[in-house]
Chains A and B, each alone.
Chain A
Amino acid sequence: MPTLRIYPAIGAARLGNSQQSFVGPEEPGIPGNWDSGAQRFRAFRDGEGKILRQAARFRIFQFDDTGNAIKEITLADGVRITWTVHVANRKASFFTFNGQSGAETDPPYTGRAARKPDEAEKEDRGKGQPERKNFRNPAVAKRSDLEIDPGPVSISAPGVRELRDSQTPAPIKLLGHIQMENEGHLLVLGGFGETEFQGPVLHAIDEYASNDGWFDDMSDGLVSASVIFPDGHTEEAEQAWVIVGPPKFAPGIRNVVSLYDTIWDLAVRNQMSCQAGRDPILQDLVAQQQAWQNTTNDFASAYVPSFTQHIYPILSRAFAARDVHEPPTGFPDYHLTLPDWSRLSQRPDPQFRQAIFNRIRNPNSNVLDRKNMPRGLGDDYTTLDDFEFKGAPQPSARAFLSLTQVQYTLLKAWAEGRFVDDWKFGDVRFAPIPAPGIVTPHGLDQAALENCVGGPFYPGIEVSWLIRHTSLYAGAFRLQKAGFLLGPLTFGAGFFSQQMALPWQADFYDCHKEEHTEDGSPEPRIYMWWTAQRPDDIRAVAGGPYRRWVEPFDAASQTQDPDDVANLARFEQMRTRWFELKFVILDGEDFVEEK
């Protein structure tokens, strides 16, 4: 019997301070707001210079029993569609964010839920790391007063509705809008990047993730649809989810571990159900599930990855980091072994591949590896912080970012010569952005998620580590229907955003590149967080000098050290001026700051 499903199963909206918007990515490999005809990005700002909001567009597809999409359902089919969106912001009533604290139990947060809200969670370390309690705003007894929950909002005809909670005493009421397009698609638009403080005495933002009294207009939640067919029967489509993130300031550059990679990895290793039908990407997912060997964390040798499809995306994202992260002093050529795609895709010559693979951090290892790649900080950053400031034992291996196990295994197969040499773009900096084609259900999933961060989750940009909890999934890339309990947590509107930084600008400022050079290191160790969303350094012209992305905030500096975490003025600068920061856009073959 045909079934209806909403796609993308997880869509991504992004906030902006403009009333205007653009539709987020809908085809794999094509970034949002990309003008294929002109081969350049459209403006990310309106006529007043305000940042456009990125809308998440949802569509309904009809599937047959074998998993093949029969068609997209639109109003042109004579149906009546009622979309219902329930997003919420529960950040202020949630636990404080403290790395992996809460992840040690399954269900998560079980231990912390048993503790008092005002019990100390993290001691005062100074330098922008004040004491934090178990819960945010622990003194507020009525926790629902801290939440912004417009409840389910429906729309049944082309038009716009607000996602507004008029009842909440919280100082922010509006979380965004929903809009039904003339075809019947749904657009979900997030907030405007608003923040407000509520309390008797203003408390300056003094920490990257948890600041009592503060509220923002981020959100996430469920998207559902019912369709009344011309014959009068009604069908409910499989539910989807919308997440809302900050603007992606480097829209053509992806993180080396995207959210798509993270969920793909979960789907492969946990054999999540997947009706591939004729979708070649999902067929590949099924093939990987069949080849995956949990005992060895490897694929059976019968599985042969493609250079273009599997390897190039990982390597090219690492290479693209050069456009948003200045090479460390003395190491101007970092990642320059990568743009040699013709040789890297040649099977008979393993040296090039092995030289690169040997520099990849092994995600299966519990041995601390500071040296290898990605040169990124990880989920368990707290242990690095404890090591450096408290003299704790060695940091956890997870203090640094690793590729997903599947990504690593694909690279391993490539290094060993087990791959298809299907590279056809020659000696280029990057493969060209593909021309638009047909929008497919899974293509919508991929396009949405490959532009989101899949790690590190400290806490992250769009979602945090709760997204990896496998019990949340009904199948590959699709979350369970909301409404159930996961230990002390309710899986419902606001579930993912509640873990995120409050206000969002605090972490968005703080997570710039960091130096953690250990004693005796032969080179400086500079690590990134999420340079593809929040650049570290940018250039005005290709090959030109770098400048720090947040340099405009330096005028407010209280110290000479631009990375001084005690410099609280910078949090405030980001909170009030984030929309002045530059996008990094493609100009020819290079990503440079918008003019």
Chain B
Amino acid sequence: MTDRNRLLLIAPVIAMFVGITPVLGATPEPTITPGSEQGARAYYAQISDQLHFTAVPGTTRLDDLLVFLGYPTTGDKLRTLDPGVLMNPVQAAAPTGLSLSINGLSGATLREDDILATRFFAPKIVNISQTPLTIGWRKLVRLRSRPDSAAARAGVQTAIILFNFFAPAGQDPFSNQSINTQVMLIAPAQPKGLLWLDFDPNNVLGLSLTASFDAADLGGTRDYYVPDGCNACHGSPGNSAPPMINYLDTDHWFDRLENDFAALKSTNTALLFDAHTNDPTQGPFFAAFDIIRRFNEEALKQNSIAQPNTFEAQAARVWLGLHAQSDQHFSPVDRAFGNEKWQPTEADGLSRLNRYCFRCHGSVRFSVFDRQAVVERAGIMRQRINPSQAQIRESSTFKMPPDRTLDFSEIQALDEFLKNLK
């Protein structure tokens, strides 16, 4: 039987099983490792000991963490202040700024690059199985631990705070609450070198983030607990390796305007929100893009220490190489890396991988931009997008992608593309 015939024959089966609770299959489970409440509590207890910072779920606030880092201010200020204000040391002490006492710690003053902040479109956090889509946005604030802070004494060099916002296309998302606020503490001297915390919309320490990685399979969002859920997408599946910071892929954001986020494109909203434009020739775009570039340089530095030879680090290098002198949007084919580069004739297929798979396979196990990695996995990927009944029955996590239900025609197109890869 040819593959095509096989696809046709099992199409009703796919329609029956894919994306809904399988009648005959395994109990739906998340594909992305969710971790557990118990594990998260144990983790917080462990990092409390490590850092001498009291991380108590339900009690500890983001404000406490900011004090720990040497920034006695509030999480709300961090969330609401314009990045331009946040990054300006001159405004740090002002009531309209962070209200920081900049000389408060052994006379240390806020330095020029102590705070990095940017806001941007975040397709990665969107529940792609919903119609219409609610657009996801993020505000990233990177704080360097102030020299005499408790964090600095504990070896925490920087904190990366990610606020997550949602709003319909065309609406200002940043006036909303942050649904989850994720924190990475970069502490190279500590075991694993990167530690996780997660805060709820009220800035209170929580055990998990609520996310839509498995939304199609599970019928909606679910909780992913620290640290397992975080490590899964940050280079440490099974918590075996030092986790890594993921670089910000501006090019991917612009790619997605051409498919799932056409509605966002029609509103002409700036994806680099602080640029107020998507025109890379405009000055504000330069400035906003440069913040991303600086962050990605730092991400690569961390990657190079944690796991220097990984695809994640390689992808960050590629982004930085392409954007060393350019703020332009580079096409997926231009962003290929590895021993074998994607060819222009493969652009359609790569575009599908980028659209359907990159959300995870930009940072989990392999990158779709590494052609050789895809070729090596092509057979398995074909099984994943079009599993046998036995595979469906065995595990709800086998089918890919887990976050949306692919049209049958798209399954066919992906299958054909992957099948012909050599």
Contact A523 B380 (CB under 8 A): no
Contacts of A331 in B (CB 8 A): 237-238
Beta-carbon contacts of B5-47 to A below 8 Å, as 1s and 0s?
Answer: 0100000000000000000001101010100000000000000
Contact B393 A429 (CB under 8 A): yes
Interface size on B, residues (CB 8 A): 40
Asked whether A351 is an interface residue with its Cβ less than 8 Å from the other chain, the reply is yes
How many angstroms between the C-alpha atoms of A339 and B395 in the bound complex?
A: 11
How many angstroms between the C-alpha atoms of A592 and B29 in the bound complex?
A: 20
Of all chain B residues, the one with the shortest Cβ separation from A349 is: B3
Most interface-central of B376, B379, B421 (chain A CB within 10 A): B379
Asked whether B397 is an interface residue with its Cβ less than 8 Å from the other chain, the reply is yes
With A336-B391, A336-B395, A343-B388 given, is the CB distance from A352 to B379 under 8 Å? yes
Q: Which of A339, A343, A348, A520 contacts B394 (CB 8 A)?
A: A339
Of all chain B residues, the one with the shortest Cβ separation from A421 is: B1
Q: How many A-B residue pairs have CB under 8 A?
A: 98
Contact B237 A342 (CB under 8 A): no
Contact B379 A339 (CB under 8 A): no
Contacts of B237 in A (CB 8 A): 330-331, 522-523
Contacts of B241 in A (CB 8 A): 520-522
Asked whether B383 is an interface residue with its Cβ less than 8 Å from the other chain, the reply is yes
Contacts of A557 in B (CB 8 A): none
Beta-carbon contacts of A313-356 to B below 8 Å, as 1s and 0s?
Answer: 00000000010000011111100110111110010110111111
Least CB distance, A301 to chain B, in whole angstroms: 22
Asked whether A358 is an interface residue with its Cβ less than 8 Å from the other chain, the reply is yes
**Chain A interface main SS type:** loop
Asked whether B324 is an interface residue with its Cβ less than 8 Å from the other chain, the reply is no
Asked whether A427 is an interface residue with its Cβ less than 8 Å from the other chain, the reply is yes
How many angstroms between the C-alpha atoms of A356 and B388 in the bound complex?
A: 16
Contacts of A427 in B (CB 8 A): 388-390
Q: Which of B238, B377, B387, B419 contacts A340 (CB 8 A)?
A: B387
Asked whether B418 is an interface residue with its Cβ less than 8 Å from the other chain, the reply is yes
Most interface-central of B237, B238, B418 (chain A CB within 10 A): B238
How many angstroms between the C-alpha atoms of A340 and B382 in the bound complex?
A: 11
Asked whether B398 is an interface residue with its Cβ less than 8 Å from the other chain, the reply is yes
How many angstroms between the C-alpha atoms of A346 and B33 in the bound complex?
A: 33
Contacts of A349 in B (CB 8 A): 3, 419
Most interface-central of A336, A517, A543 (chain B CB within 10 A): A336
Asked whether B325 is an interface residue with its Cβ less than 8 Å from the other chain, the reply is no
Contacts of A333 in B (CB 8 A): 395, 397-398
How many angstroms between the C-alpha atoms of A330 and B388 in the bound complex?
A: 22
Contacts of A330 in B (CB 8 A): 33, 228, 232, 237-240
| Chain A interface residue number, banded | 20 to 34
Contacts of B277 in A (CB 8 A): none
Contact B390 A524 (CB under 8 A): no
Contact B310 A522 (CB under 8 A): yes
Asked whether A439 is an interface residue with its Cβ less than 8 Å from the other chain, the reply is no
Asked whether B152 is an interface residue with its Cβ less than 8 Å from the other chain, the reply is no
Contacts of B365 in A (CB 8 A): 522
Contacts of B387 in A (CB 8 A): 340
With A332-B397, A358-B376 given, is the CB distance from A343 to B29 under 8 Å? no
With A346-B1, A349-B419, A351-B419 given, is the CB distance from A339 to B232 under 8 Å? no
Least CB distance, A525 to chain B, in whole angstroms: 8
Contacts of A523 in B (CB 8 A): 237-238, 240
Q: Which of B310, B383, B419 contacts A337 (CB 8 A)?
A: B383
Sample 28 A-B pairs with CB under 8 A, ordered by A number: A322-B394, A328-B238, A329-B33, A329-B228, A330-B237, A332-B29, A336-B391, A336-B398, A337-B379, A337-B380, A337-B383, A339-B391, A341-B390, A342-B388, A346-B3, A348-B2, A349-B419, A352-B382, A356-B379, A358-B376, A429-B393, A429-B394, A517-B240, A520-B241, A522-B240, A522-B241, A523-B237, A543-B27
Q: Which 9 A-B pairs have the closest CB atoms?
A: A330-B238, A351-B379, A355-B379, A339-B390, A330-B237, A352-B379, A340-B388, A524-B238, A427-B389
Give B residues with C-beta under 8 Å from A.
1-3, 6, 26-27, 29, 31, 33, 228, 232, 235, 237-241, 307, 310, 365, 376-380, 382-383, 387-391, 393-395, 397-398, 418-419, 421
Give A residues with C-beta under 8 Å from B.
322, 328-333, 336-337, 339-343, 346, 348-349, 351-356, 358, 427-429, 517, 520-524, 543
